[in-house]
């Protein structure tokens, strides 16, 4: 599990692609302190496992499903990425609970400055937007952000200067693809509602209906 609070920006130093998978090497400073084989690292919000490391560089394997669902396929040596180590018990949960399992990708539509913040508009498919709610949480490239607007095609977040300086988000361009993970609570509720017995909603909720069903 992660919090969506990016610890540092790392840089991809090597990418080896084969079939529809890849091996990626990443250089970082802070998150390599005390790094161990098998540790989980959120790379642009994607939970990946450290398969080897030396000095300030670690390597991860990326499987086909991950390449298909995320923006890793478009990254090359020199690309900057957001990095976060897995949450430890006892740590402050300053963002929100992020699993590192990406739901899909969105596309940056616009940047708009307002006072000290920058509004970011992202287009997303219906299967992701259905979980995006006003004032709810969303992870964009691994960054925990609050939804400030949403409709049937896009949602918007507001980026404060600290977030802009500590992540890659404001370095991106209109048209760039970003990884999206919706708050898992909505997905669990949807699943449980599908399991529970379904009761049809009465068409006429009137006095007669209440009397018939023992409410009066």
Q: What pLDDT does 98 receive?
A: 92
Query: What was the pLDDT predicted at 41?
Result: 97
Q: Can you tell me which residue has the tokens 């993970």?
A: 181
Level-2 CATH architecture, domain 104-186: Beta Barrel (2.40)
In a 10 Å sphere around its CB, with 0-12 CB exposed, 13-18 middle and 19+ buried, how is residue 18 labelled?
A: exposed
Q: What is the mean pLDDT of residues 1-27?
A: 94
> What is the mean predicted confidence (pLDDT) over 96-110?
95
Give pTM, 2 decimals.
Answer: 0.87
Whether the pLDDT of residue 96 is over 70: the answer is yes
Matching residue, tokens 């080897």: 52
> What is the reported pLDDT for 200?
58
How many residues are recorded in the chain?
216
Least Cα distance to 147 among 184, 123, 155 occurs for: 155
Start-to-end Cα distance in the chain: 49
SS3 of 13, please? Answer: strand
User: Is the separation of the CB atoms in 168 and 11 below 8 Å?
Assistant: no
Comparing 143 with 210, which gets the higher pLDDT? 143
- Mean pLDDT, range 94-108, rounded to an integer: 93
Q: Which of 51, 43, 145 is nearest to 101 (CA)?
A: 43
The CATH class of 8-85 is: mainly beta
Mean pLDDT of 21-28: 96
Summarize pLDDT for 171-180 with one digit per residue, the tens.
Answer: 999 999 999 9
pLDDT digits (tens, 9 = 90+) for 107-156: 999 999 999 999 999 999 999 999 999 999 999 999 999 999 999 999 99
Structure confidence at residue 90 (pLDDT): 78
The answer to whether 46 and 66 are in contact (CB under 8 A) is yes
Domain(s) labelled CATH 2.40.30.20 in the chain stretch across 8-85, 104-186
Output phi, psi for 113, to 5 deg.
Answer: -85, 140
* Stronger pLDDT, 88 or 83, i.e. the higher one: 83
As a whole number of angstroms, the distance between CA 31 and CA 18 comes to 27
For residues 17 and 10, give the distance between their C-alpha atoms in angstroms, rounded to a whole number. Answer: 20
Q: Residue 196: pLDDT above 70?
A: no
Strands (DSSP E) found in 152-209? 154-159, 177-182
């Amino acid at each position: 599990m992660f919090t969506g609070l990016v610890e540092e920006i790392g840089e991809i130093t090597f990418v080896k692609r084969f079939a529809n998978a890849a091996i990626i090497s990443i250089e970082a400073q802070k998150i390599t302190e005390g790094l161990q084989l098998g540790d989980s690292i959120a790379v642009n919000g994607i939970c990946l496992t450290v398969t080897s490391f030396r000095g300030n560089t670690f390597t991860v394997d990326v499987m086909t499903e991950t390449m298909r669902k995320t923006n890793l396929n478009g990254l090359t040596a020199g690309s900057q990425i957001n990095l976060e180590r897995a949450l430890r018990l006892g740590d402050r949960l300053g963002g929100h609970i992020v699993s590192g399992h990406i739901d899909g990708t969105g596309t940056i539509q616009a940047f708009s400055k307002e006072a000290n913040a920058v509004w970011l508009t992202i287009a997303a498919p219906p299967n992701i937007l259905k979980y995006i709610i006003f004032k709810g949480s969303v992870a964009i490239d691994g960054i925990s952000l609050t939804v400030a607007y949403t409709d049937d095609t896009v949602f918007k977040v507001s980026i404060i200067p600290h977030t802009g300086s500590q992540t890659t988000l404001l370095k991106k361009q209109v048209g760039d693809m970003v990884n999206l993970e919706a708050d898992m609570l909505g997905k669990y509720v949807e699943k449980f509602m599908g399991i529970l017995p379904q009761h049809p909603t009465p068409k006429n909720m009137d006095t007669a209906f209440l009397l018939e069903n023992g409410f009066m």
